[in-house]
Amino acid sequence: MRIAAVFLALAMTGCASAPLPAKRVEQTGYISLGGIDQWVTMRGEDDRKPLLLLLHGGPGDAQSPFVTSYRPYERDFVLVQWDQRGAGRTFARHGSATPDLTLDQQTADGIALAEHLKTRFPGNDLVVFGHSWGSVIATNMAQQRPDLFDAYAGTGQVSSWAAITAWQFGFLKDRAREANDATLLASLEAIGAPDPTNIGQYFSFTRPLRGYQHETDKNWLGGIAERAKADGETDADLKAASDGMGFSGQRLIQTLVRIDLTGMRDFAMPYCIVQGRHDLNAPADPAKAYFDTVSAPRKQIIVVENAGHFALATHATEVSAALMACLAD
């Protein structure tokens, strides 16, 4: 009897210590964040994998509708997409009555979501992954609540709006000289040094940038509607997404043109940048200059060749692999 009891105890101990089988995560819906309902999706092949909290750019450019494009991340992570306050299905729920659309509030919303995820998946690492405007929110989140995150990752990483503006201005002057475009060069030289806070001037002189976008960015932006519809979005969904971008852009533009993250240099977690080589929106050179000043337990920057600002979508498999390489111990 005693021997049998010992074997029974050993068997029960073995069962208790056996790892639970992987389960697919497939969850979509509204979560209360910052006092309003906000749309969150969670998808992954294995519920034990690290959580990748993706903060979209824009402002207002929700990426959650593009399920197929972002599916490569689901192998290595539980991908969490959040339609920020003023964007996508969150905007569709609240419309022009959306309250408190500020960077501070979006940062607080993101922290509240991270807290929710830590409760929902208590054993998983949590990586905050910001794209463009989302990298501004993500940086603030990582600075304010480093205890929540196991790593920071950025793509289309913002440094400062002033640095981006100066780079774009110089880029266009170089292209004008190469093309012997006297009209464009004269218009740029008439500006002298661009004022990054002069919104009218900025959107006037940067208009020619569109012609120099990398082909992968042009294809991504040109196929947005068809891609979204193929993943189940309706015309009403597309209108809400477009209206949300307009609403968010109008309310956050004054904040955007004054962004300067370069004073935020100390990170308590591993710091990773994955940047498209041909990104003209948040160029690699200013991002690298900022990266070089960052202090972190471990940091790495990986440049994705043949990619632009939307590398996270157009090169999802490569970016996911880069993130895994960056975040490996």
Q: For residue 136, is pLDDT > 60?
A: yes
Are residues 300 and 322 in contact, defined by beta-carbon separation less than 8 angstroms? no
The pLDDT, as a whole number, for residue 21 is: 85
- The pLDDT value given to residue 35: 97
- Name the average pLDDT for the chain: 94
pLDDT at 11 > cutoff 60: no
Whether pLDDT at 19 is above 80: no
> Are β-strands 36-44 and 78-82 bridged in parallel, bridged antiparallel, or unpaired?
antiparallel
Residues of the chain with CATH 3.40.50.1820: 25-160+214-327
What kind and span of H or E run contains 25?
strand 25-33
Handedness of CA 93, 99, 104, 109 (dihedral sign): negative
Q: Does 326 have pLDDT greater than 90?
A: no
Residue 48 has pLDDT above 60, yes or no: yes
Q: Say yes or no: domain 25-160+214-327 is CATH 1.20.1270.360.
A: no
- For range 33-58, the mean pLDDT: 98
- Work out the average pLDDT over 8-16: 43
pLDDT value, residue 4: 40
Q: What is the structure's pLDDT at 325?
A: 87
Average pLDDT over residues 10-25: 65
What tokens does 215 get? 């082909």
The β-bridge partners of 131 are: 155
Whole-number pLDDT of residue 44: 98
pLDDT in tens, 235-251: 999 999 999 999 999 99
- What does the alpha-carbon distance between residue 278 and residue 282 come to, in Å, rounded to a whole number? 9
**Of 236, 238, 219, 218, whose CA–CA distance to 228 is shortest?**
238
Query: pLDDT band at residue 18, thresholds of 50, 70 and 90?
Result: low
DSSP secondary structure of 63-97: -TT-HHHHTTHHHHSEEEEE--TTSHHHHHHHGGG
Predicted local confidence at residue 10, as pLDDT: 35
Q: In whole angstroms, what is the distance from residue 200 CA to residue 159 CA?
A: 21
Which residues, 6 or more positions from 122, have their beta carbon under 8 angstroms from its beta carbon? none
The answer, yes or no, to whether residue 304 has pLDDT greater than 90, is: yes
